[in-house]
Amino acid sequence: MPRNKERSGIQSALDALHREVYEKHMAPYWAIDSSVDHDEDNQVMDKRKAVPFSWCYKEDIEPLLYRSAELIKMENSERRSLVLVNPGLAPSRATVTTLYMAYRLNDPIEIMPPHRHSPNAIRLGLIGAQNFTGVEGENIVFGPGDLVLTPHDTWHNHGNEGDQPAINLSVLDLPLAEALNSLHFEHDYTEEEEGSIVVKKMQTQKFPAHYSEQVYGQGGFLPRFVSHARGVGKASPMYIYRWEAMSELLERYKDWDGDPYEGILIEYVDPTRGTPIYKTMTFFVQMLRPGEKTLPMKQNSSVLLSPLEGSGYSIVEGKRFDWSPFDTVAVPGGLWCEHVNGSETDRAILFVASDEPTLKALGFYRKFGKTEAGDVLHLV
C-alpha cells in the first residue's frame, strides 16, 4: 500500500476515534497535533481563562449605578449591585477565576433585610459617610476607606443611614464556592421571641457600638475575658477595619524603602492570629510614592486592583491599563505585572484583593520577579 494511502487511512481512523471520544463526553489525553511539543499538556490547559481587563468608574460604573437606583427599588429587589464580569469568563459572574467584585449603591435611609450566604465577603466604603452593615448583631456605620467583613454564613444586612446616596465596593469568593459546589443563600432571618420563632427584617443588636474597635483596635493586645469565636469562628472576629488606622500607617511608612515589586504594601489581618482575614482571600492597601514604579512581578494568585487615591497605570503582560480613583483592574494569575504612579508630586493608593491564601493552603503559590537587568528571580 502506498505510504500516503496508509497515512490517510490512519488519519481517518484517528478522526473517527476522536469523534466518538467527544460524543461520549470524554477527551483524549494524547498528542493530536504532532507539530506542537507536548500537545497533550496544551490540550489540558486549553480552556476558558480570565483575561486582564479594566473597568472605568466615572465613565461606565457610576452612571449605571445611578440609573439602576432610579429603576430598581428595594420593594422589588433586595439587591442593587453591578457585578464586574471578566470577558474571558463570561457569562459566569466572576471578575477573576475565584473572586467576584461588585459595586453597590444604596439610596438615602435605605436598609435591606438580613440574608446570609456561603461565600465570604467584604465591603469597602467609597462614597457616603453613613454606609451601614449589620453583621451577627454588630451594627456598623462606615465611610470611605473603611473595610467591613461579612464572613461565611453570618447573617448580615446592608444599607445607608445617611441623607445622601452611599456607594461601596464588594469582594466575594463566590466563584470559588460555586466551583466547590458550596454556594448557597438564605433570606428568611429569624429570632426567638417569647418562646416562638419569628421572621424579622432587622437583627437585634447584640454588641455595643464600636465593639470591633474596642476589642481589637489596639494592635498587640487581646482581651481574654471575651469570646473571639464570632460567626463560624473561621474568619477574623474584627468586623470593621477603619481607614483612619490604615491612613496613619501609610503616613508612618511613606519614607521607608518599601518592596521593589510591591511598594509599600499593608495587609489586613486577623488580630487573634496574625493571618489573612479569610482562609480563601486576603486584602491589602498598596501605596506608590510620587513617581514610583515597581519592578515586574508574576504570581499565580489572581489580583483585583481598585485605586482609592491618585492616578497611574499598570502594565500587564505588556498591555497598559490606566487607572483613576474607584476604577478596577483585573490581573489574573500567571501574568507579569508592574505599577506606575503617574504623578511626580502626589502618592497613589490602591486597594488590592487576592486569592493568595487559597493557593498557599494548597501548596500551589508561586511568585517571581524581574531585576532591573531583566533577570528572573524565584521570590516564593
Contact 261, 336 (CB under 8 A): no
Give just the sign of the alpha carbon dihedral 262, 264, 270, 272: positive
Residue 63 φ/ψ, nearest 5 degrees: -60, -40
Cα angle, residue 149 at apex, residues 143 and 153 outer, rounded to 5°: 140
- pLDDT of 376: 97
Pairwise CA distance, residues 71 & 90, whole Å: 25
Pairwise CA distance, residues 91 & 17, whole Å: 32
- Assign 3-class secondary structure to 156-212: EEEEECCCCCEEEEEEECHHHHHHCCCCCEECCCEEEECCEEEECCCCCCCCCCCHH
- pLDDT of 122: 98
Could you tell me which residue, 227 or 265, shows the higher pLDDT?
A: 265
Across 146-178, b (16+ Cβ under 10 Å) vs e yields: bbbbbbbbbbbbbbbbbeebbbbbbbbbbbbbb
Could you tell me which residue, 142 or 41, shows the higher pLDDT?
A: 142
- pLDDT of 74: 75
- pLDDT of 165: 94
Pairwise CA distance, residues 89 & 171, whole Å: 17
What DSSP letter does each residue of 29-54 carry, written as one string? -S-S-TTSTTHHHHHHH-S-----EE
Q: Is the confidence at residue 35, as pLDDT, over 80? A: no
Label residue 260 by pLDDT band (50, 70, 90): very high
For 53-378, CATH number out of 3.40.50.300, 3.40.50.170, 2.60.120.10, 2.40.340.10 equals: 2.60.120.10
Pairwise CA distance, residues 237 & 135, whole Å: 11
Q: What is the mean pLDDT of residues 115-142?
A: 96
Give the type of residue at 316.
V
Domain boundaries, the chain: 53-378
- pLDDT of 86: 97
The fraction of the chain above a pLDDT of 70, given in percent, is 97
